[in-house]
Chain A
Amino acid sequence: MRAVIAEDLALLRDGLVRLLTAHDFDVVEAVEDGPSVLGALIGHRPDVAVIDVRLPPTFTNEGLLAAIEARRQVPGLPILVLSQYVEPLYARELLSDGAGGVGYLLKDRVMDVGQFVGAVRQVAAGGTVMDPEVVSRLLAKRVRDEPLGRLTTREREVLALMAEGRSNAAVASNMVVSEKAISKHIANIFVKLDLAPSDDDNRRVMAVLAYLNS
């Protein structure tokens, strides 16, 4: 699987390259500043890219903007955005094209190597992975407005876990219920959020987006 990495700190960049290489990724390019990110993404069209939000020369959110622009040019280009902090606003911007294949995680998550690599693979496969902190910060909002207000507490829990990018099986084991029960909850969520039956993956993204937009 071909990967592109964008990270300005050499220590972390080398660490990411080593980590991904050890897990059978082929890191085709590792760039260190904002202006080269877009070129690398469009040039290589990797199976997955891991990009730091904050890059030189402005050290603001160039990585994020490059990711959004790359996905505008190549819809659905799988990108996992890493950051020292997570901001629900950015999560919403990343997801707003509704195409999936997007992840937004705290850099801390790299410490749990197994889970991190799992997240990279999931993004590569077109899934959506949101950091639990994004999800929990949004969960802290009392949900009053429609249409999320229509969801039961249980359904909202399922939606939160979906937003973190977990599969049905993972959600089921987390909530200690059967996978079948989870499928039923998810079907209910789709109906309540007026998501027409289509590609299941896409509906998951749309559901998460509705959740982030609440």
Chain B
Amino acid sequence: MAGAGAGTGRAVPPDTNAMSKDVSDRGSSAGAAGESGRVGRWIARLFRATAGFSGLSSDAPASSGWPWAAKWRVTSFGIFLGLAVTVVWAVTGAHYFWPGWIWFALALPLAFQGAIRRALRTNGRRALAMHAAVSLVVALAGIVIWLLSGHGYFWPIWPFLGLAIALAGHAWLVPMLPNNREQALRERVAVLTRTRRGALDVQAAEMQRLERDLHDGAQARLVSLGMSLGMADELLDIDPAEARRLLVDARIAAGDALADLRALVRGIHPPVLADRGLNGAIQALVLAVPIPVEATIDLPEARLALPVESAAYFAVAEALTNVVKHSEASTAWIQVHLADGKLSIVVGDDGIGGADPEQGTGLRGIERRLAAFDGTLRVSSPPGGPTLVTMEVPCEPSSQKTSPS
């Protein structure tokens, strides 16, 4: 039953649902999107029931709960019933053609199913299309009833009028509804496009920095090491003292290359974050800050999603660096907690305040990095302090556990 299946999918695609949740987080058309999702689900269920009952389906058997053969049986049964009553009518004297009513009753669900399926296929204003389709079927049903009941006075004109007015009203209202789902989705796409570009820019810049650091650091030192070893090899028999000096040089170059690589790794993915997760990594950060920092960390045992963990770590590191560099604070505090699928981090200090995220690239970089996860960064820093940097990132714990202990 791919038709019904696809209809269900279209009515409530799972990611659209998630998206509308995100959108609601941003405070725009929350209600409208959620409502239309619910209506869509309800209609899909009704549609499935109708399709099943009418038993007509041209779809693949695997895609629904109804086996294809059973549906075919129901359809054949319907046709058989129609024919049977017609025969009964013919045998009993072929007076008033009452089987027309039976046929009508059998055809009605099919008509509804066809109309709704067609309506679901339209893009955009699906509710309006659904309304039009149902109105059309009701109008046709009216005409058929009028025909079957002896076509006297054309009373269906009145329901037609009512349906037409309702439909026209709906069509007139739709463009005026503020923030419908389409609008919300369009805004969402714009945000995603912007943040994706931001994330890719950050990544590309990182890669370039890594390449340069490797080229000027570890690689250069390894070349020098190789040269020292090569010269030592040549001098070993002629001038052992000089050869020994070169060997010492080589050892120093190896140590420097390792130190460079360590610094590089710390910048990509700090080992302590890999080992201990966000909790341990923040404690390690706090240990390196020269002023007392009170860290209140309330995180579940399970690890957070790795990219979020990493972004959060660098955000805290940047915030603490700013505290040390600019705030002249005597104490600072960090609060981290995960609730309602949202990771909240607050870094505060009792310093001089007056921090401006527009100045300097640090906080802006963090903001862009967090934006890739729909995260936000707010800075409150009145002159005289205190400074509060608040970061929020939607986040679920991943299945990966922290190191066994």
Contacts and interface: CB of A to CB of B under 8 A. Distances in A.
Q: Give chain A's interface residue range (CB within 8 Å of chain B).
A: 20 to 34
Contacts of A107: 258
A85 B265 contact: yes
B262 interface: yes
A45 interface: no
A107 B255 CA distance: 10
Contact of B284 (A84, A89, A111): A89
Interface stretch (B121-129, B151-159, B275-283): B275-283
Contacts of A108: 254-255, 258-259
Contacts of A90: 272
A92 B272 CA distance: 14
Contacts of A61: 275-276, 403
A58 B284 contact: no
A125 interface: no
Given A60-B275, A65-B405, A85-B265, A145 B292 contact: yes
Interface of B: 251, 254-255, 258-259, 262, 265-266, 271-272, 274-276, 280, 283-284, 287-292, 403-405
Interface string A85-101: 10111101000000000
Interface string A126-154: 00000000000100111111000000000
21 contacts: A60-B276, A60-B403, A61-B275, A61-B276, A62-B404, A65-B404, A84-B258, A84-B262, A84-B265, A85-B265, A85-B271, A88-B287, A88-B288, A89-B272, A89-B284, A108-B254, A111-B255, A141-B288, A141-B289, A144-B291, A145-B292
Contacts of A58: 403-404
A136 to B, nearest CB: 12
Contacts of B276: 60-61
Contacts of A194: none
A24 interface: no
A60 B405 CA distance: 11
Nearest to A92: B287
B290 A144 contact: yes
Nearest to A141: B290
A112 interface: yes
A61 B284 CA distance: 14
Contacts of A141: 288-290
A170 B287 CA distance: 28
A87 B272 contact: yes
Contact of B283 (A54, A60, A89): A89
A182 to B, nearest CB: 27
Given A61-B276, A85-B271, A87-B272, 12 more contacts: A54-B271, A54-B275, A58-B404, A60-B274, A84-B265, A85-B262, A85-B265, A89-B284, A108-B258, A143-B290, A144-B291, A145-B292
A84 B258 CA distance: 8
B349 to A, nearest CB: 14
B390 to A, nearest CB: 26
A144 B330 CA distance: 10
A85 B268 CA distance: 14
B35 to A, nearest CB: 47
